[in-house]
Amino acid sequence: MKRLFVSLILLIVAVPAWAEIDIQKVTSEKGITAWLVEEHSIPFTALELRFRGGTSLDEPGKRGATNLMAALLEEGAGDLDAREFARRKEELSASFGYGASDDSVSVSAKFLSENRDEALALLRTTLMEPRFDEDALERVRAQVISGLMSDAKDPNTIAGNAFSEIAFGDHPYGSSGDGTIKTVTALTREDIQTAFDNVFALDRIYVSAVGDITPEELSALLDELVGDLPETGAPMPGPADVAIEGGNTVIDFDTPQSVAVFGQNGMAREDDDFFAAYVMNQILGAGGFESRLMTEVREKRGLTYGVYSYLSPKTWGPIYVGRVSSSNDRIAEAVQVIRDEWTKLKEQGVTQKELDDAKTYLTGAYPLQFDGNGQIASILVSMQVNGLPIDYVTTRNAKMEAVTLDDVNRVAREFLDPENLHVVVVGKPEGMEATAGN
């Protein structure tokens, strides 16, 4: 700060941009609950469904089944084959998206008010009467395998998969939810049906809706859409034994820029220190230009285009990870700077100014996320999956504000573990050796 803005800076106290978000809890006759934000100014609704479990529900030897199943839900349902289904969806101008991640399968729908009933009837067929036709299975399987082949030569994916294996071992988290070419090739139609039955059940469903719909309409919609799903699905996988140890893993790959994934054991979202750890990570490595990692690795030394870290509080095993990429002759220096910052933060903590700036950013940026029906629906359903209360949106910033310098510095001291920070490098890194045991 040289000359300008002084008066303005003094005025900056958290006055968050606050959208009026009135979240209602809706419970249907059949007992299905959903969170709703009514927003009638645009004639459409965004609907989000999440089913806990995700690709971690894959049965032994069937890795990739949940992912392939989710990809097949739009490929024919009810009376309609894949092409007829796609044409019908286009006529209605609805959009349905199906995704599978480690901890959940998501169904994201947007539909116009003018043909809501027809759109929902079509969506319902994908959840109640999926066809899994053999020709669709073969076609989509070939697409998934093509992707897996590309992944096998993509340094980013190679590094990510290798880190997961080191962190999670035999737990489903330890391998890619997309499966391998071998497992996906061997999947049968019965495996896909099993994966479907494992996931789609009422004991694990979370719903949110944002848009041009009333509580009464949503309540009826819930029973119609998912009321006939079975009560229970497959058991959850159980906790992973996360024990990340220090050292480097080097995977030889001929490409000009090395890609590194670094990380240590993480922290569960339910942990009392999670907010303090979240603020700590904001200062160390979260995305923006102000983080210590960006300042040290990029702004001061020009070693990378991007470096970031994030808490990954997966349900069955949290980790704390980050990524950086640098040309092969400079990656060793980038990794060393990151290791040094890890140690420095643990030993010396953060300053009051760093803490204040991080909190101002986090509390100010939070409401900016609530911009659009689809985006809000996604946030609301994630809150439910994570077990957060319905008033979390209005209490979250106060919790962030309550984090003190002592909290952050204590968490940095107790939680950061530079000795056990493991780094996976994919490329031809100069001056980096794999440590023994990897």
Residues 377-436 that bind other proteins (CB under 8 A): none
Identify which of residues 313 and 374 has a Cβ nearer to other proteins in the complex.
Answer: 374
Helix (H) or strand (E) holding 435: none
Interatomic CA distance for residues 62 and 183, integer angstroms: 6
Work out how close the CB of 289 gets to other proteins at its nearest, in angstroms, rounded to a whole number: 4
Judged by CB under 8 A, the stretch of 22-30, 303-311, 313-321, 413-421 that binds other proteins is 303-311
Choose, by CB under 8 A, the member of 52, 323, 346, 428 that binds other proteins.
323
Judged by CB under 8 A, the stretch of 162-170, 196-204, 238-246, 294-302 that binds other proteins is 294-302
Single-letter residue type at 180: T
Work out how close the CB of 234 gets to other proteins at its nearest, in angstroms, rounded to a whole number: 29
State the pairing for strand pair 247-252/422-427. Answer: parallel
Q: What separation in angstroms does the CA of 175 have from each of 62, 157, 170, 183?
A: 12, 11, 8, 12
Identify which of residues 177 and 247 has a Cβ nearer to other proteins in the complex.
Answer: 177
- Could you tell me the sign of the dihedral formed by the alpha carbons of 116, 119, 121, 127, in that order? negative
Residue 58 is classified by DSSP as P
Judged by CB under 8 A, the stretch of 25-33, 188-196, 336-344, 356-364 that binds other proteins is 356-364
Burial 183-207 (b: 16+ CB within 10 A, else e): bbeebeeebbebbbebbbbbebbbb
Residue 296 is classified by DSSP as I
Helix (H) or strand (E) holding 81: strand 80-81
- Could you tell me the sign of the dihedral formed by the alpha carbons of 148, 150, 154, 156, in that order? negative
Strand order across the beta sheet in which 422-427 lies: 247-252, 422-427, 257-265, 319-327, 307-312
Burial 226-253 (b: 16+ CB within 10 A, else e): bbebeeebbeebeebebebeebbbbbeb
Interatomic CA distance for residues 60 and 289, integer angstroms: 43
For 394, residues 6+ apart whose C-beta sits below 8 A from its C-beta are none
Under rule CB under 8 A, which residues in 133-152 are in contact with other proteins?
A: 139, 142-143, 145-147, 149-152
Identify which of residues 153 and 413 has a Cβ nearer to other proteins in the complex.
Answer: 153
Choose, by CB under 8 A, the member of 31, 61, 372, 431 that binds other proteins.
372
Residue 302 is classified by DSSP as -
**Contact status: 1 vs other proteins (CB under 8 A):** yes
Work out how close the CB of 324 gets to other proteins at its nearest, in angstroms, rounded to a whole number: 10
Q: Which of 277, 244, 267 is nearest to 318 (CA)?
A: 267
Identify which of residues 239 and 288 has a Cβ nearer to other proteins in the complex.
Answer: 288
Work out how close the CB of 228 gets to other proteins at its nearest, in angstroms, rounded to a whole number: 27
Identify which of residues 227 and 364 has a Cβ nearer to other proteins in the complex.
Answer: 364
Choose, by CB under 8 A, the member of 79, 117, 252, 371 that binds other proteins.
371
Choose, by CB under 8 A, the member of 257, 336, 343, 435 that binds other proteins.
257
Number of residues this chain uses to bind other proteins (CB under 8 A): 83
- Contact flags string 5-34 toward other proteins, x per CB under 8 A: x--xx--x-xxxxxx---------------
CB 237 within 8 A of CB 172: yes
Under rule CB under 8 A, which residues in 153-172 are in contact with other proteins?
A: 153-156
Judged by CB under 8 A, the stretch of 27-35, 36-44, 233-241, 410-418 that binds other proteins is 36-44
Identify which of residues 115 and 435 has a Cβ nearer to other proteins in the complex.
Answer: 115
Under rule CB under 8 A, which residues in 222-251 are in contact with other proteins?
A: none
Work out how close the CB of 359 gets to other proteins at its nearest, in angstroms, rounded to a whole number: 10
Judged by CB under 8 A, the stretch of 28-36, 229-237, 313-321, 355-363 that binds other proteins is 355-363
Work out how close the CB of 406 gets to other proteins at its nearest, in angstroms, rounded to a whole number: 22
Identify which of residues 9 and 436 has a Cβ nearer to other proteins in the complex.
Answer: 9
Identify which of residues 28 and 378 has a Cβ nearer to other proteins in the complex.
Answer: 378
**Contact status: 101 vs other proteins (CB under 8 A):** no
Single-letter residue type at 383: M
Identify which of residues 180 and 420 has a Cβ nearer to other proteins in the complex.
Answer: 180
Measured in degrees and rounded to the nearest 5, phi and psi for residue 105 equal -110, 130
Judged by CB under 8 A, the stretch of 65-73, 256-264, 272-280, 416-424 that binds other proteins is 256-264
Task: For residue 294, give the 3-state DSSP assignment.
Answer: helix
Single-letter residue type at 284: L
Under rule CB under 8 A, which residues in 61-100 are in contact with other proteins?
A: 82-83, 86-87, 90-91, 93, 95
